[in-house]
Amino acid sequence: GAAELGPYRHFMQKEIFEQPRAIADTLDAVESVTPELFGDGAYRVFKDIDSVLILACGTSYYSGSTAKYWLESIAKIPVSVEIASEYRYRDSVPNPRQLVVTITQSGETADTLAALKHARSMGMNHTLTICNVATSAMVRECELAYITRAGVEIGVASTKAFSTQLVGLFLLTLSLAQVRGHLTEAQELAHLKALRHLPVAVQAVLALEPQVMAWAEEFARKENALFLGRGLHYPIALEGALKLKEISYIHAEAYPAGELKHGPLALVTSEMPVVTIAPNDALLEKLKSNLQEVRARGGELFVFADSDSRIESSEGVKVIRMPEHYGALSPILHVIPLQLLAYHTACARGTDVDKPRNLAKSVTVE
Ligand code: G6P
């Protein structure tokens, strides 16, 4: 009811603004990095595995896609990420030493549950879930679990569940890194410090809402949008595009920026807004040349740049300045303005934000 909404217009907006609290709660019980965060016996499992298979649907698939970058670079373990409905029906090569990780807000998504059972039926018995509902079927089915503390999520388009899944997946990365001998004590402390600072950092990004609203007015008049990111921000671009299409009904696609010249550049005209995630990371210079390719074809750029990125506004280039680059956890900050952009664009178009047409919060049948 209206009372629960407080000052917010929709549950989605409320849930976006709850993220500092949701992240803090998800980290609440974490005193140090240890496999036991995932349950009794996790150490033995983490010692035994040689790779990770992530299974999920929708937004949860994109948190898993982000985690692949973390797991391979920090824990140095091979990872594959697969859409649950694809995995369950294809012939694959089972690996009993692979850790099967399901990611699910509800813990009840039919395809994800079926994919888990499919993996198990092929002899893959090391299972772990990152889930927001402690009493769900998925938590009961898996050997190990990390329960995110986003709280009840009502908006069909997932927001706080996504950012807390990323927190859980980062802790999984650190725990696996530790067991595999790739995490010094100093690194552990530095990562924990960055995690604990996240609520404050997210709060600072939420303060950009008025600037994002001004962009949303322009987006509301478009029918297409392209999202670009590179590296671990490519899945964030995918998530930004998904949010926009789900609730504003604007056709949106995401591409890794290096792939522009292999197709999407053909779509770029002055009618095509191009949203770009521009963190100040190792790929920034490459990204800048991708942006020039877009500008040269008249595309209008909407850039989320870290404050230390040195990308300036100019003709056809609008910039919103994020806080300073946040290192490995940067995706958790960069997804926030994309959630706000989708939300305010949908509001400007007058859609049913919390209950977009044809979609359900939890897909418990195939
Ligand atoms: C539905 C929801 C999405 C969600 C997906 C997976 O499509 O609308 O927001 O990401 O299901 O749900 P899960 O509960 O498994 O994360």
Is 81 in contact with 64 (CB distance < 8 Å)?
yes
Distance, CA of 228 to CA of 260 (rounded, Å):
9
Edge-to-edge, what's the strand order for the sheet holding 224-229? 251-256, 224-229, 273-278, 300-306, 317-322
CA 80/CA 108 separation, integer angstroms: 22
Taking the CA of residue 246 as reference, the ligand 1 atom at the shortest distance is: 8
pLDDT, residue 6, reads: 93
172-212 pLDDT tens trace: 999 999 999 999 999 999 999 999 999 999 999 999 999 99
**Ligand 1 touching residue 359 (CB < 6 A):** yes
Check pLDDT > 60 for residue 274.
Answer: yes
Question: What value does the mean pLDDT take over residues 307-329?
Answer: 92
ipTM of this complex: 0.98
If one residue of 105, 108, 243, 357 were mutated to test the ligand 1 pocket, choosing by the most ligand atoms within 8 A of its CB, it would be: 105
State how far the Cα of 69 lies from the Cα of 281, in Å rounded to an integer. 14
Distance 180 CA to ligand 1 centre (A): 32
Query: Which amino acid appears at position 59 of this protein?
Result: T
> Is the CB of residue 106 below 6 angstroms from any atom belonging to ligand 1?
yes
Residues known to be catalytic: 361
Is pLDDT of 2 > 60? no
Q: How far is the C-alpha of 257 from the C-alpha of 245, rounded, in Å?
A: 20
CA pair distance 181, 264, nearest whole angstrom: 42
CA of 59 to the centre of ligand 1 (A): 6
CA 286 to ligand 1 center in whole angstroms: 33
pTM for this structure?
A: 0.97
Q: Using the mean position of ligand 1's atoms as its centre, give its distance from the Cα of residue 359 in Å.
A: 10
CB 21 within 8 A of CB 206: no
Q: Is 65 in the pocket of ligand 1 (CB under 6 A)?
A: no
Give the residue whose CA is nearest to atom 2 of ligand 1. 361
Which whole number is the average pLDDT over 129-157?
Answer: 97
Q: Whose CA is nearest to atom 7 of ligand 1?
A: 58
From the CB of 364, is ligand 1 less than 6 Å away? no
Q: What average pLDDT does this structure show over 352-362?
A: 92
Q: How far, in Å, is the centroid of ligand 1 from the Cα of 131?
A: 11
> Is pLDDT above 90 for 308?
no
- Is there an atom of ligand 1 within 6 Å of 60 CB? yes
Question: Please, which residues have CB within 8 angstroms of residue 289's CB and are 6 or more apart in sequence?
Answer: none
| Cα 365 from chain centroid (whole Å) | 24
User: Does 85 contact ligand 1 (Cβ within 6 A)?
Assistant: no
pLDDT band at 3 (very low <50, low <70, confident <90, very high): low
> Which protein residue's CA is at the shortest distance from atom 4 of ligand 1?
58
Hey, whose CA ends up nearest to atom 8 of ligand 1?
A: 361
For residue 64 and ligand 1, the question of a CB distance below 6 A is answered with no
Cβ(57) – ligand 1 distance below 6 Å = yes
Using an 8 Å Cβ cutoff, are 30 and 192 in contact? yes
Per-residue model confidence as pLDDT tens digits over 222-272: 999 999 999 999 999 999 999 999 999 999 999 999 999 999 999 999 889
CA 333 to chain centre: 10
Q: Which of 59, 147, 238 to mutate to test the pocket of ligand 1 (most atoms within 8 A of CB)?
A: 59
Dist CA 327 CA 337 (whole Å)? 17
Taking the C-alpha atoms of residue 357 and residue 255, their distance in angstroms, rounded to an integer, is 25
- Residue 205, pLDDT score: 98
Q: ∠ CA 191-197-198 to the nearest 5 degrees?
A: 95
Query: Does ligand 1 lie within 6 Å of residue 102's CB atom?
Result: no
Report CA(103)–ligand 1 centroid distance (Å): 10
**Continuous H helices in 19-159:** 19-27, 42-48, 58-70, 84-87, 110-121, 137-141
The 3-state secondary structure of 148-201, one letter per residue: CCCCCCCCCCCCHHHHHHHHHHHHHHHHHHHHCCCCCHHHHHHHHHHHHHHHHH
- 255: tokens are 């591409």
